[in-house]
């Protein structure tokens, strides 16, 4: 039998498992011996502090309340019954003194475990009994025999603590027995594990081999060994992820040929003349990066990052015009119909002005799900016949029916809403068109590097100069009348306001404010005499469009809304946003909402309204996050989020705090956005290791893009075995 076959054998071969327990293991996904070897503990407890009984007694008298271990001999057992309750007390001694252990449960079982004269190591948090004796209640223990080294499993060492699913518990597998089972597996089978990393990678990066790492991850000889073992598995995980990213990038750059464009006419120059503003330095910088890519015959694959309101759309539009100028179609895809519609209208307006100047017509076509069939068919025809130059749409653009006649550029707006797979699908529609993905979500650099490592990065790190930072204010609900009066007063100066509610309709379950009831209420009370509109997610797309349009045309002073306005909506005269129940929104969501205002040159306001306690607490507890314990953070998350909004306008800072508050597993709904989930690595704390793994991986793929070198055969083998699904776009499989 090969080593692989042995490791793939059933867990049933492990001592102390048996068929019933094996079934339970299977249920929780632990089928093979190998699965068991990689069922790593969630944490460890350090029980290396072995003391004599008298020393331990000193510790306790001096108020020590941690774990410690004593080794002693059983001298007497005391089994008592009080009605239905039974208590077992076992008395021990060592050379220095006495101690005792008590069990209030399963006394009948433990009475047979502790026989007089036997030696045990006992670990736990000791106290003093009411008679002043050193006492452990329900301690962990090991029987110590002549051969000591083998006997320490639950005490005396750094002890693994495993998560024990209820399926295992119900088969009487607890901490002791699982530790024993895994110890059996490690002792007998870790030897069979085959190395997953090329030797030179392991030694260059000071990583222990796989056998040693598995052993030390479970039963570490020291804290250092444990740390090394963890580091090794993190590295391995990151390394293969980066190999895949590097392969994808290489494939895109070297295997596929793109269109090599040039500046044909004055189109772009003329377009710039029609703009009512100058582009910022940052916009010009990213434009030149984009232009260079488009001029080269290597297809562009670029991530355009910029905070909300930094002016990404205009940059994308200029890129689209370059494509159009070269006889290609350009498409822009937005995550919602409302946003697609807004893009289409904006772009059409820009194109009208351009036509006035140049007499050249650039045709814009909109493709979204909710359109009338006849209009849709006409648009589809336009696209196919190249009647349309710029196509705006939602994911409707992915559909089979859409046949571009000559797609040269795809722009994907608000990328975090789209997965990698969707990206691939749209790319497949053109002959390797250039791609720009735009994101306002300020993804921390480490994440960008890992997941978007196949994309080149352009950052707009500057706001248009006419902007004043939005003033963010946090208020208790008791202040609402004043705030509404403020909105009313400001409307006389031409300010438009959003008022956001977390719910569409009143809910019996949630005590949150809803847009519908407040729309009715505010119109007849506080906002009487103002023109008030309503937009929410349950409206049909035409109704939403109508509401947004009227607001944009200044037919409304106030727009009552749910989070449908969250992404991308651009209304230059909207300068106040009031967010109700603000504690219920996530941090990046709040930042996106705030981004809806402050797009013109007037001072804008973002007013966060929440329960008075929360508003007050955050004023008081103005501590830096670094100095708070995790339990403190947990309790005050809502207040911290709101306070951070008041303090910071910068999206990157907000994202960083968001990451700290939410923890890596949960950033911006990672799963839906196509981010990988790590088993070992932590996107925040392991950023150095991520960089290291990335450098190694990219170097390898740079030097050996098809993994042909003998040294790299193990990489190729692992990829085809474990990552076959991901190899589709890699050029390896
Ligand atoms: P985002 O990057 O969030 O998508 P938009 O592209 O919607 O931002 O731009 C926000 C607003 O700023 C728009 O109204 C746009 O016309 C305007 N804008 C873009 N660039 C500039 C600039 N250089 N100077 C002034 N206003 C600009
Ligand atoms: Mg945008």
Percent of the chain residues past pLDDT 90, beyond the cut? 45
Q: What is the mean pLDDT of residues 426-453?
A: 70
Mutation test residue for ligand 1: of 278, 314, 594, the one with most atoms within 8 Å of CB: 314
Q: Which is more confidently placed, 359 or 422?
A: 359
The tokens of 23 are what?
Answer: 């079934």
What is the distance in A from the centroid of ligand 1 to the CA of 334?
A: 16
What is the chain's mean pLDDT, rounded? 85
**Among 598, 343, 373, CA closest to 471:** 598
Percent of the chain residues past pLDDT 70, beyond the cut? 87
**Among 255, 250, 336, 262, CA closest to 294:** 262
In this prediction, residue 261 has a pLDDT band, given cuts at 50, 70 and 90, of confident
Domains of the chain, first to last: 49-156 (2.40.50.140), 195-241+697-733 (no CATH), 267-460 (3.40.50.300), 471-648 (3.40.50.300)
Does residue 18 sit in helix, strand or coil?
helix
Mutation test residue for ligand 1: of 280, 304, 313, 566, the one with most atoms within 8 Å of CB: 313
In this prediction, residue 670 has a pLDDT band, given cuts at 50, 70 and 90, of very low
Torsion of CA 694, 698, 704, 706, to 10 degrees: 80
pLDDT number for residue 701: 92
What is the distance in A from the centroid of ligand 1 to the CA of 485?
A: 30
What's the rounded Cα separation, in Å, for the pair 434 and 414? 17
What is the distance in A from the centroid of ligand 1 to the CA of 314?
A: 7
What is the distance in A from the centroid of ligand 2 to the CA of 311?
A: 7
729 contact partners, CB below 8 Å, separation of at least 6? 248, 251, 424
The answer, yes or no, to whether residue 423 has pLDDT greater than 70, is no
What is the distance in A from the centroid of ligand 1 to the CA of 308?
A: 9
Burial classification of residue 63, based on how many CB atoms lie within 10 Å of its CB (0-12 exposed, 13-18 middle, 19 or more buried)? exposed
The single residue listed with the structure tokens 């994308």 is 316
Does residue 160 sit in helix, strand or coil?
strand
The tokens of 450 are what?
Answer: 């890992």
Q: What is the mean pLDDT of residues 384-393?
A: 88
Q: Which atom of ligand 1 is closest in space to residue 313's alpha carbon?
A: 6
pLDDT per residue over 271-305, tens digit each? 999 999 999 999 999 999 999 999 988 888 888 98
pLDDT number for residue 181: 94
The tokens of 395 are what?
Answer: 């994911």
The tokens of 201 are what?
Answer: 């990678």
Q: Work out whether strand 68-82 and strand 471-476 pair parallel, antiparallel, or are unpaired.
A: unpaired
The answer, yes or no, to whether residue 666 has pLDDT greater than 50, is no
Nearest CA to ligand 1 atom 24: 464
What's the rounded Cα separation, in Å, for the pair 524 and 470? 29
532 contact partners, CB below 8 Å, separation of at least 6? 519, 522, 523, 556, 557, 558, 559, 560
The answer, yes or no, to whether residue 728 has pLDDT greater than 70, is no
Nearest CA to ligand 1 atom 4: 312
Q: Model-level pTM? A: 0.67
What is the distance in A from the centroid of ligand 1 to the CA of 188?
A: 64
Q: Which atom of ligand 1 is closest in space to residue 275's alpha carbon?
A: 16
Lowest-pLDDT choice from 132-136, 251-255, 590-594:
251-255
Q: Work out whether strand 85-93 and strand 68-82 pair parallel, antiparallel, or are unpaired.
A: antiparallel
Q: Which is more confidently placed, 258 or 393?
A: 393
Ligand approaching nearest to the C-alpha of 286: 1
What is the distance in A from the centroid of ligand 1 to the CA of 545?
A: 21
The tokens of 193 are what?
Answer: 């594990």
Q: Which is more confidently placed, 514 or 472?
A: 472
Q: Per DSSP, which regions of 275-383 are E strands?
A: 301-306, 329-333, 364-367
- Give residue ranges with CB within 6 A of ligand 1: 277-280, 283, 306, 308-314, 440, 464, 466, 568, 570, 572, 599
pLDDT number for residue 455: 80
Q: Which atom of ligand 1 is closest in space to residue 279's alpha carbon?
A: 23
What is the distance in A from the centroid of ligand 1 to the CA of 386?
A: 29
Nearest CA to ligand 1 atom 12: 311
The answer, yes or no, to whether residue 585 has pLDDT greater than 70, is yes
Nearest CA to ligand 1 atom 19: 311
Q: Which atom of ligand 1 is closest in space to residue 280's alpha carbon?
A: 23
In this prediction, residue 672 has a pLDDT band, given cuts at 50, 70 and 90, of very low
């Amino acid at each position: 039998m090969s080593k692989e076959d042995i490791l793939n054998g059933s867990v049933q071969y492990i001592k102390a498992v048996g068929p019933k327990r094996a079934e339970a293991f299977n249920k929780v996904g632990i089928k093979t011996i190998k699965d068991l070897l990689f069922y790593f503990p969630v944490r460890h407890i350090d029980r290396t502090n072995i003391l004599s009984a008298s020393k331990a007694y000193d510790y306790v008298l001096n108020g020590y309340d941690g774990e410690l271990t004593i080794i002693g001999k059983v001298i007497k057992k005391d089994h008592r019954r009080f009605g239905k309750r039974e208590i077992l007390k076992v008395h021990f001694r060592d050379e220095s003194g006495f101690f005792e252990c008590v069990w209030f449960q399963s006394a009948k079982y433990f009475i047979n475990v502790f026989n007089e004269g036997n030696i045990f190591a006992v670990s736990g948090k000791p106290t003093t009994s009411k008679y002043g004796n050193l006492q452990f209640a329900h301690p962990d223990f090991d029987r110590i025999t002549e051969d000591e080294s083998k006997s320490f499993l639950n005490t005396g060492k750094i002890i693994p603590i495993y998560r024990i699913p209820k399926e295992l518990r119900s088969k009487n597998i607890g901490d002791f027995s699982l530790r024993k089972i895994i110890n059996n597996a490690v002792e007998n089978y870790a030897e069979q594990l085959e190395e997953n990393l090329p030797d030179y990678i392991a030694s260059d990066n000071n990583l222990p081999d796989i056998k040693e790492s598995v052993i030390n991850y479970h039963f570490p000889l020291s804290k250092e060994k444990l740390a090394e073992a963890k580091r090794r598995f993190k590295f391995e995980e990151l390394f293969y992820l980066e190999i895949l990213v590097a392969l994808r990038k290489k494939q895109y750059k070297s295997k596929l040929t793109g269109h090599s464009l040039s500046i044909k006419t004055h189109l772009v120059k003329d377009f710039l003349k029609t703009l009512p503003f100058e582009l910022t330095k940052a916009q010009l910088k990213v434009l030149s990066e984009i232009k260079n890519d488009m001029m080269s015959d290597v297809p562009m694959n670029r991530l355009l990052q910029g905070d909300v309101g930094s002016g990404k759309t205009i940059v994308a539009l200029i890129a689209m015009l370059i494509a159009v100028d070269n006889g290609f179609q350009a498409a822009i895809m937005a995550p919602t119909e409302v946003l697609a519609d807004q893009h289409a209208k904006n772009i059409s307006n820009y194109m009208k002005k351009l036509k006035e100047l140049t007499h050249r017509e650039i045709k814009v076509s909109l493709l979204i799900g909710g359109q009338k069939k006849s209009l849709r068919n006409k648009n589809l025809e336009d696209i196919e016949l190249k009647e349309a130059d710029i196509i705006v749409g939602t994911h409707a653009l992915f559909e089979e029916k859409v046949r571009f006649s000559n797609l040269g550029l795809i722009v994907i707006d608000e990328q975090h809403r789209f997965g990698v797979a969707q990206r691939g699908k749209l790319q497949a529609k053109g002959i390797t068109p250039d791609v720009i993905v735009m994101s306002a979500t300020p993804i921390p650099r480490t994440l960008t590097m890992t997941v978007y490592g196949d994309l080149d990065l352009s950052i707009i790190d500057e706001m248009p100069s006419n902007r004043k930072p939005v003033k963010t204010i946090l208020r208790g609900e008791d202040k609402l009348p004043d705030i509404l009066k403020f909105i009313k007063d400001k409307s006389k100066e031409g300010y438009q306001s959003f008022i956001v509610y977390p719910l569409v309709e009143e809910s019996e379950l949630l005590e949150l404010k809803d847009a519908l009831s407040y729309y009715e209420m505010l119109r007849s009370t506080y906002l009487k005499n103002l023109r008030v509109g309503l937009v929410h997610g349950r409206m049909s797309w035409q109704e939403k469009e109508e509401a947004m349009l009227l607001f944009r045309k200044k037919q409304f002073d106030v727009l009552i809304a749910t989070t449908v306005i969250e992404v991308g909506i651009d209304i230059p005269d909207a300068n106040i946003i009031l967010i109700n129940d603000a504690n219920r929104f996530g941090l990046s969501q709040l930042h996106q909402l705030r981004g809806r205002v402050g797009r013109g040159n007037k001072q804008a306001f973002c007013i966060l309204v929440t329960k008075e306690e929360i508003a007050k607490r955050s004023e008081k507890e103005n501590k830096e996050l670094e100095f708070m314990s995790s339990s403190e953070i947990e309790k005050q998350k809502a207040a911290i989020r709101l306070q951070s909004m008041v303090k910071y306008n910068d999206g990157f800072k907000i994202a960083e705090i968001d990451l700290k508050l939410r923890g890596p597993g949960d950033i911006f709904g990672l799963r839906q956005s196509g981010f990988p989930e790590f088993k070992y690595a932590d996107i925040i704390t392991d950023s150095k290791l991520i960089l290291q793994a990335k450098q190694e991986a990219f170097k390898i793929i740079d030097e050996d893009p098809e993994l042909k070198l003998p040294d790299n055969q193990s990489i190729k083998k692992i990829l085809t075995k474990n990552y076959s699904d991901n190899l589709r776009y890699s050029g390896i499989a």
